[in-house]
A and B are shown apart, each in its own frame.
Chain A
Amino acid sequence: MANFSRNYMGIFIHIGRYVLWMGRVFRRPEKWSIYRQRIFEEVQNIGYDSIGLVAIVSTFMGAVLTIQLAYNITSPLIPVYTVGLGVRDSLILEFSPTIISIILAGKVGSSIAGEIGTMRVTDQIDALDIMGVNSTNFLVGPKMIAAIICNPFIVIISIALGIFGGYMAGMLTGEVSGSDFIYGIQYWFQPFYIAYALMKTVVFAAIITTVPAYFGYHASGGALEVGRASTVSVVYSIVIVLTFNLILTQMLLQ
């Protein structure tokens, strides 16, 4: 019982510290020109460098979705183009914004926690603070902004490549003809779904950058603790992304 309450209190302490710490992220930067330059660097690290992984995952995800849907639709009453429709909506509503954000939480999140954690244990963050630089704003702000800018584009790329993967899989396996698939992806298209996917992505982008940064920033000790902070940060990021996925889905698709 004591352990149970201690763990729960620990979560509340983290939430309180995170909120206060985020207040420092939103302060005015010391120098805008350097801040802007750092955003461009992070666009490269967080956005551009993730495109390869996202492309591979999305193409295969779309292909597998097509084969599974085609395999499960056995009734002659359900038209074949439903496969295209199902692949499109699954990718837009869930797979691309949520699964890609979870994958990025692993790739980008662990890298952020490791980078900032190492800076913490090697006194580089103290060095920034002593110089008079708001280290939280300087280190975390550009990463968060870069992710908020890049991730919607990444998700759009993911949706496009997922549909392409599905189209190719349908064609190559002979389960769905090209014309049926294209008809399916155009059928009863809801533009709001794209807006919904992008809104979720922006929230997830903030989570998968700031949560690992928080754990890295508060790391102490040595390499072992930085590694542990990195692992814990990815776990927390994924759980928080899934929680917000539920909340946003309920709010936006009412």
Chain B
Amino acid sequence: MLDVGLGSALLNPISYLLTPSPMIEVKGLNKSFGEHHVLKNIDAQFHKGQVNIIIGQSGSGKTVLTKCMVGLFEVDSGTIEYDGRDFASMSFNEKKSIRQDIGMLFQGGALFDSMTVEDNIMFPLSMFTGQNLKARRERAQFCLERVNLSDAGKLFPSELSGGMKKRVAIARAISMRPKYLFCDEPNSGLDPKTGLVIDQLIQEITEEYEITTIVITHDMNSVIEIGENIQFIYEGEKWWEGSKEEILTTENQEVVDFVYASKFMKKVRADLAK
């Protein structure tokens, strides 16, 4: 079942026409591990300059979908188009050029333990640009300032707090000026206030650099705070799609069960209905 919550947009053609063209488009994506069919015929569009959110319960296939999209898993069938270029069918070397346009923020940061914060941020620049050390240092410092960590350059990842690690990971992800930013559970393990700082940073960077950002989360605070285009994955299927306003008012039972899972949220829903 696929409930595309764009009914209101279809009723409002002006708003529909103003919707940005998709930068990343997934069509008919299937992925299995042995007998276990994890992703079932997923179709999804992720827009430029927007924070696109993928939500769903644990084990629903969100992370597998993302790993397929960034090329960490080979897909069984279907296409993943980055600006019209089919990533899934590309060779290793062809994928490389697109990968250099991708930034990824991992759940734990995935910073290289053996390098300082500055070296972590300079790493992709050293690997893929011909910039000299001075230019790389300046770019790293700029990225650190952008995430409000200008004095952390000489520290090692083990000396950073969870929130700082996430911010450094964002700095590393944007160092190559990516066109596409993937964030896997960006505020997991963080207190709500720090989580909000990370969410806002992701939103600001998305707008500032016109990036296509995809955030995987099951944190409803993030969804409401920064979600613009929300895709709900349920048991490996794309179940629902809509805006943050629509997700609060949808009647789709699976989405309602997910969003209003706690007693408190059920009470909020009842109050909203009144």
Binding site for B on A (CB under 8 A): 30-31, 34, 118, 122-124, 126-127, 129-133
Contact = CB atoms under 8 A, between A and B. Distances in A.
B110 A127 contact: yes
Contacts of B100: 131-132
B214 to A, nearest CB: 13
Nearest to A124: B110
B128 A130 contact: no
A122 B102 CA distance: 19
A27 to B, nearest CB: 9
B99 A126 contact: no
Nearest to B126: A34
A127 B124 CA distance: 10
B112 interface: yes
20 contacts: A30-B127, A31-B127, A34-B126, A122-B110, A122-B113, A123-B106, A123-B107, A123-B108, A124-B111, A124-B112, A124-B113, A127-B106, A129-B71, A129-B72, A131-B99, A131-B124, A131-B128, A132-B100, A132-B127, A132-B128
Nearest to B112: A124
A132 B112 contact: no
Contacts of B104: 126-127, 130
Contacts of A118: 113
Contacts of A124: 110-113
Nearest to A134: B92
B24 interface: no
A133 B67 CA distance: 16
A34 B106 CA distance: 24
Interface string B127-150: 110000000000000000000000
A34 B122 CA distance: 12
B96 interface: yes
A122 B108 contact: yes
Given A31-B128, A118-B113, 14 more contacts: A30-B127, A31-B127, A122-B113, A124-B113, A126-B67, A126-B104, A126-B106, A127-B104, A129-B99, A130-B102, A131-B99, A131-B123, A132-B96, A132-B100
A34 B128 CA distance: 11
Contact of A130 (B71, B111, B126): B71
A132 B110 contact: no
A47 B99 CA distance: 35
Contact of B72 (A34, A122, A126, A132): A126
Contacts of A133: 127
Contacts of A126: 67, 72, 104, 106, 110
B72 A130 contact: yes
A34 B110 CA distance: 20
Nearest to A29: B127
Nearest to B93: A132
Contact of B70 (A31, A34, A130): A130
A34 B126 CA distance: 8
Nearest to B124: A131
A130 B99 contact: yes
B194 to A, nearest CB: 20
A89 B108 CA distance: 53
